[in-house]
Amino acid sequence: MDVHKPKDKNNGVWLIFFMLGLGTLLPWSFFMTATMYFTSRLRDPTQISTDKPYDRSPTEASYNNVSTLCAMVPLLIFTCLNSVLHHRIPQKFRIMGSLAVILVLFLITAIAVKIDMAAGPFFTLTMIKIVIINSFGAILQGSLFGMAGLLPAKYTTPIMSGQGLAGTFAAFSMICAIANGDGVNGDGVNGDGVNGDGEFYRYYNKRQSGNRLSDEVNRLDENAAATTPVLKQGEEQQTVSMLTIFKKIWVPALSVCFAFTVTIGVYPAVTVDVKSTVANGGAWEMYFIPVCCFLLFNLSDWAGRSLTAVCTWPGKDSKLVPIFMVARVIFVPLFMLCNVQPRYNLPVVFPHDAWFIVFMILFAFSSGYLASLCMCFGPKLVAPHEAETAGAIMAFFLSLGLALGASFSFLFRAIV
């Protein structure tokens, strides 16, 4: 036992990771949950008719699918770049630089709400902002998971929990805006304090750096012939190391990838088009999607992510986690058979609102809990000096799942 191991006083490090996790997804959460605002800005005024509620313009009809794809593909690309280059770019620069860019873009989005713009240019500008925000969000997310990989497993949970709360906050803000009779906007504050409790992190970072230094010394002893060959072998060793690390964590990596493929495949592209059969034109019709789709999903997802702070069943070596992940594919046809409108191919099997609510709770909770478990377990299946790279690899496969889900969402929505 290390008697010099510092304490996380007042859970300060935990709270910092929580706030940074919140910052990674808060801007994108506003884009996703404010779908009513964005689609209203994209509506063709010449085709608005109460008799034809589903006669939508091409940009309005494709907003959810295209925005998800524009978010997830850059997320994948830049997470991949972060996984490869995280040793060459200072961690502080990656985190603080990403936060600064995200904040600026988020403020620009808030200002753009007040500017009148035609549907075409507004759609293009919105997609550009989504691409940039999620590109830097990927760098921030990958850096955070890499950093958390150096620490005890419980410090991955606040990142996942913070991301879950970001969606909850955005959904609640949209509901409040509707209740006040205001249009949904992108106003918000995305600021994070990143200071204090440095001793706690430096302790684990020094441990990792010390192990890496020992490996370099051993290689120098074995290859003392010349400097240049040693450097080349060092570069080769780093490539082999990533493959070796992946072989140790491939089960949780592929599991978290599959989890988000299923989740993003139907949420929000399919679920946002479910219509209430209970409202009958009342106020519930206005609140149905904000409450039952966005708020309920994010609350349940947040609950699942947060539960891993006190419960990590099944264990990191259990075969049940990937089995549960594969079983979640049942939610794809279940949501497609709800009252999604407009629909062209499949029948409505689960018309009542209660079915959709039950499916959403189970769908979101299982996604949050199982994905968070995988993200916690991955870096703990490797040696301490490999933990940061393992965390970055896990972040890459999380992003890969998001990108695959965004791609499949076009297919799933078209089938309905």
pLDDT in tens, 128-160: 988 988 888 888 887 887 777 777 767 777 887
Amino acid found at 239: T
Cα separation, 308 vs 321, in Å, equals: 13
Q: What is the pLDDT of residue 4?
A: 62
Q: What is the pLDDT of residue 86?
A: 67
Residues contacting residue 348 through CB under 8 Å, at least 6 positions apart = 337, 338, 339, 340
Q: Strand, coil or helix: what is 348?
A: coil
Tokens matching residue 9: 């006083």
Cα separation, 42 vs 63, in Å, equals: 9
Counting other chains too, the contacts that 345-349 makes at CB distance below 8 Å and 24 or more residues apart are 345/415, 345/416, 346/415, 346/416
Q: What is the pLDDT of residue 222?
A: 43
Residue ranges and CATH numbers for the domains of the chain are 11-415 (1.20.1250.20)
Q: What is the pLDDT of residue 362?
A: 96
| pTM given for the model | 0.69
Positions in the chain short of pLDDT 70 = 1-6, 8-9, 44-56, 86, 153, 181-240
| Contact assessment for residue 91 and residue 143, using Cβ atoms and an 8 Å cutoff | yes
Q: What is the DSSP letter of 274?
A: B
Strand partners, 338: 350
Tokens matching residue 76: 């994948």
Q: How many helices (H) does the chain have, and how many strands (E)?
A: 14, 0
State the CB neighbour count (10 A cutoff) for residue 334. Answer: 18
Cα separation, 107 vs 114, in Å, equals: 12
Angle in degrees, CA 136, 137, 142, rounded to 5: 100
